[in-house]
Structure 1
Amino acid sequence: MSETLAYRDQTFINFRDFRFDSPTGHAFRWVDVKRFDLPRSDLGDDWLLTALIGHVAFRDDYAGGGVEAEGLRHGPYWLRHITPARYVQIDQEHANELLHGWTEQFGALPPALAARLEREVYSWVAAATSRYQLEDLGHEAFHDWGGVHTDFHELVLIDRTAGVLLLLVAADD
């Protein structure tokens, strides 16, 4: 039996779908969550990160192109620059500070958006047994049009109890 991450589903939260008191800074922000089932709960985090990077669903430029089976880009970066070593382990507090800082940088969120983020993002951050953040790889790792995102935050959340790995991208463009 070949061990691999099994892609389960995707959730896309577009801030544009919610009514803000002030639209400044909110129109082109979103959170994308891809869920994968773990083949086994005893596989190491490095193995899981390697499997994620090698998965076809990881080949997403997050700029409208979607997943490309033969793609060479991931977010703003050339795929070749992303390795498990480029992910830094973080704790729940750091993950929450990062996400809250980004989501609330322009002010309070509409209650419906805050509730959806709590349900579909922060609950997973809390449940995760391991959390990783893709470090800023710098402009030298950008692909040919890699600077389109004003902000690009990527977390990998591993929940061994639920047998799930989440790839969470919070960005704006």
Structure 2
Amino acid sequence: MTGLDFVGPTCVNFRDHPFPDGQGHGFRWVDLKSFRFPPGSQDSGLLAAVVAHEQFRHDYAGGGVDPGGTRHGPYWLRAVKSGDYQPVTRTEATQVLAEWANQHGGLPGSLEDALEATLFAAVNSASRLYRLPGLGRDAFHDWGGVHIDFHEFVAIDDDRRVLTLLVAADD
């Protein structure tokens, strides 16, 4: 298995930005976790390493990373396999994420800037992108339906040797 060194998290929380007319966008956020990987790493090994990493044990619903946890987002950890990730184009990833971000109307400029500098920068610099498709209700953990939307991508940047796990969700 390929080793990943956790670099750090970045979170863009929509509630940190003022929306006009009190629009309710406060329960959405983007979480990015970045990892360095060694030269010569293969995608299959990188995907397996990120799924096995303790930082992957995150319910994305306020509990944070639980190194001994059994959940990942809305799913039981055991239900998520590295082979579940499907290759996607930059255009597809950008479209999904932009539609999700703008689904309730326009964004404040400060939030657009923050998303461009974090989320879309990772997508645009990626050599390859993968998406975790919906795994179905059978994969949900005991309270896995709390997320209204849950979008997960892995961006692999060969030039910087950085893998970024991107989660855009709301609850």
Global fold match (TM > 0.5): yes
**1:5 matched to which residue of 2?**
4
Task: Give the one of 110, 116, 135 matched to 1:118.
Answer: 116
Q: Which runs of 5+ in 1 are unaligned?
A: none
TM-score after normalising by structure 1: 0.96
Could you list the per-position Cα deviations for residues 70-94 of structure 1 after superposition, in whole angstroms to 9, with x for gaps in the alignment?
A: 1110000001111122111001000
Aligned CA-pair RMSD: 1.1
Secondary structure, in 3 states, of the residue corresponding to 1:39?
A: coil
Please tell me whether residue 58 in structure 1 is matched to residue 56 in structure 2.
Answer: yes
Distance in 1 (CA, whole Å) between partners of 2:21 and 2:63 is: 29
**1:83 matched to which residue of 2?**
81
Equivalent pair of 1:6/1:39 in contact (CA under 8 Å) = no
Q: Following TM superposition, where does structure 1 have runs of at least 4 consecutive aligned residues deviating by more than 4 angstroms?
A: none
CA gap 1:19/1:13 in 2 versus in 1, 3 angstroms: same
Percent identical among aligned pairs is: 48
Could you list the per-position Cα deviations for residues 13-61 of structure 1 after superposition, in whole angstroms to 9, with x for gaps in the alignment?
A: 0000101114444110000000000122x21111000000000000000
Please list, as runs of the form range in 1=range in 2, the aligned pairs for 1:1-173 lying within 5 A after superposition: 3-40=2-39, 42-173=40-171
Deviation, 1:142, is 0.1
Give the count of matched residue pairs. Answer: 171
Distance in 1 (CA, whole Å) between partners of 2:99 and 2:22 is: 17
